[in-house]
Amino acid sequence: MSIRENIQQVRENIAAAALSAGRRPEDITLVGASKMNDAAACREAIAAGIDALGENRVQEMTQKLAENAYDGAPLHFIGHLQRNKVKQVVGKVALIESVGSYELLEDIEKLGIVQPILLEVNVGGEEAKSGFAVSEVRAAAERAKSLSHVVLRGLMTIPPVAEGEHGSVPYFEKVHALYVDINASLYDNKLDILSMGMSGDYEDAVRCGATMVR
Ligand SMILES: *Cc1c(COP(=O)(O)O)cnc(C)c1O
């Protein structure tokens, strides 16, 4: 399948999942995870109408930025962000989806550049994964609210590897509930992004309220 056909197929699947849950297909943003794809492939995806591209490695992103690979679409950073690389990302991307620690929040704030972000939730409580524990997210959202250069737009999560079909659903439901609660009680319902769902489970994520899939 070509990149264009692939995007079209995923869009159709998103639309069907959205409609089955009483949601509007146009309310779901499709982010192409462009890691390991060269600049030409990125341009092809943009020409085919992908909503945004997401990179998870700073070095690869910097290289492809220099090649103008992302012209015409917003760029997201979706990977683990090391503190010594924050400077190479802040101000360069439309959204950092993977802010998973207080240190990162403070590092971003210190640069003095307004940066939209999502808080990453380690919903499975996995040792090897970054992100805030479910019990920490609310306090992190309050902290983000107090920072003038950090613009919180919502939450992102990568659930544990699913056990069987629909295995991600309980995790998606948990993060959706957290999102709705924080949005209503702290953010006047101004948060607008819940990023969850990847190749294997994005339809379930849409049915569970994701507004962005990767
Ligand atoms: C690579 C990546 C994706 C997409 O992964 P697939 O396995 O291609 O679905 C989504 N989110 C993040 C954070 C990624 O790094």
CB atoms within 10 A of CB 153: 23
Task: Give the pLDDT score at 163.
Answer: 85
Ligand 1 centroid to Cα of residue 188, in Å, is 30
Q: What is the pLDDT along the chain (214 residues), one digit of tens a residue?
A: 899 999 999 999 999 999 999 999 999 999 999 999 999 999 999 999 999 999 999 999 999 999 999 999 999 999 999 999 999 999 999 999 999 999 999 999 999 999 999 999 999 999 999 999 999 999 999 999 999 999 999 999 999 998 899 999 999 999 999 999 999 999 999 999 999 999 999 999 999 999 999 9
Report the interhelical angle of 3-20 vs 39-47 (nearest 10°): 50
**Which of 37, 198, 203 for a ligand 1 pocket mutation test, highest count of atoms within 8 Å of Cβ?**
198
**What are the backbone dihedrals phi and psi of residue 213, each rounded to the nearest 5 degrees, phi first?**
-120, 155
pTM: 0.98
Per-residue pLDDT, 15: 98
- Residue 98 CA to ligand 1 center (angstroms) comes to 12
Which of 61, 75, 78 has most ligand 1 atoms within 8 Å of its beta carbon, as the pocket-test mutant? 78
Alpha carbon of 158 to ligand 1 centroid (Å): 9
CA-wise closest residue to 43 among 75, 88, 9, 1: 75
- The tally of CA atoms less than 13 A away on the side-chain side of residue 100 is 24
Residues with C-beta less than 6 Å from any ligand 1 atom: 33, 35, 56, 78-79, 158, 198-199, 214
CA triplet 136, 162, 191: central angle to 5 degrees?
Answer: 40
Question: What confidence score (pLDDT) does residue 23 get?
Answer: 98
- The pair of three-digit structure tokens given for residue 187, joined into one six-digit string: 């953010």
